[in-house]
A = this chain, B = another copy of it.
């Protein structure tokens, strides 16, 4: 049973996950981060020792949890020279295989959520996508994940890649459209608050309805009068106009079938 965890990384994900695990009674043995400042910040939050010396990572824990940016996972592990410890990473788009070079007991612990420093997160509903190189490790990780979430899934590296891509559309790209909406309103001095009930309902709707059924608006019915008026309104924002054109066409294509 995993009871003691070492954190490599102290960013948004490490912070939120560290808090959740700590509140669930897991002992955070140590926080390592490249800078002493970030290691210290998270270590202090978690009441755990911290270090920025990569050769001093505490390997006495049950699990080394690597929560650094996807493209530096290999680099950090190259430098850390861990003994054959249980290691997991937390990255959506990195295959499990990457870790096999560093340990005989590895897994992935991927919480599918968007984390911002300033916003508290309730982990209990966050899907945690697990993968491991053995049934035993998978069982260990399942036990750990169940302590903080009731939505624990076994997801292969191939599935996780697609999930991560879908998440980029459903989260990052969606948020960008909130941003574009905000930008358009700002030009006219209209408060973004006016859009919030619509944004809430748009998200709430697809909790019950299929997104295909939930669609409304001018693109779906190819209402060219409205579409052309909208394009005109973005004469001074060509990048928004191009996105509008593309997405409108994509919606229309989906419904004309």
Residues of A whose CB lies within 8 Å of any CB of B are 12, 69-71, 93, 112-116, 118-119, 121, 125-127, 129, 151, 153, 155, 158-159, 161-182, 184-185, 187-188, 190, 192, 194-203, 205-220, 223, 225-226, 229-230, 233-234, 239-240, 242-244, 246-247, 250-251, 253-254
Please, how many angstroms separate the alpha-carbon atoms of A254 and B237 in the complex?
A: 12
A195 CB, min distance to chain B CBs, angstroms: 5
Residues of B within 8 A of A155 (CB): 190
* Contact, CB under 8 Å: A195 / B182: no
Decide: A181 near B166, CB < 8 A? Known: A175-B214, A253-B239: yes
- The complex places the Cα of A168 from the Cα of B115 at a distance, in Å, of 26
Q: Which of B170, B202, B250 sits near A243, CB closer than 8 Å?
A: B250
In the bound complex, what is the Cα–Cα distance between A169 and B217 (angstroms)? 10
Q: Tell me if B127 and A225 are in contact (CB < 8 A).
A: no
Closest to A231 in B: B165
- Whether B199 contacts A171 by the Cβ 8 Å rule is yes
Q: Are A195 and B167 in contact (CB under 8 A)?
A: yes
A176 contacts across to B, CB distance below 8 A: 211, 215, 219, 247, 250-251, 254
In the complex, the answer to whether A212 meets B182 with C-beta atoms within 8 Å is yes
Query: In the complex, A159 Cα to B218 Cα: how many Å?
Result: 18
The CA of A199 and the CA of B161, in the complex, are separated in Å by 18
Q: Of B93, B181, B219, which one neighbours A170 at CB under 8 angstroms?
A: B181
In the complex with contacts A119-B205, A203-B202, A188-B169 CB distance below 8 A:
no
Are A116 and B209 in touch, CB under 8 angstroms? yes
Cβ of A113 and Cβ of B229 under 8 Å apart?
no
The listed residue (B165, B199, B209, B247) touching A118 by CB distance below 8 A is B209
Partner pick for A219 among B112, B172, B234, B251, CB 8 A cutoff: B172
Distance in Å from the Cβ of A126 to the closest Cβ of chain B? 6
Contact of A166 among B115, B163, B195, B209 (CB under 8 A): B195
Q: Are A211 and B169 in contact, CB atoms less than 8 angstroms apart?
A: no
Interface centre among A179, A196, A210, A223 (most CB of B within 10 A): A179
Contacts A112-B195, A166-B190, A174-B199 known; list 19 others, CB within 8 Å.
Answer: A93-B230, A115-B216, A116-B205, A116-B213, A116-B216, A159-B190, A166-B185, A167-B198, A169-B178, A169-B244, A171-B202, A173-B219, A173-B244, A175-B216, A176-B215, A176-B219, A178-B211, A199-B203, A240-B250
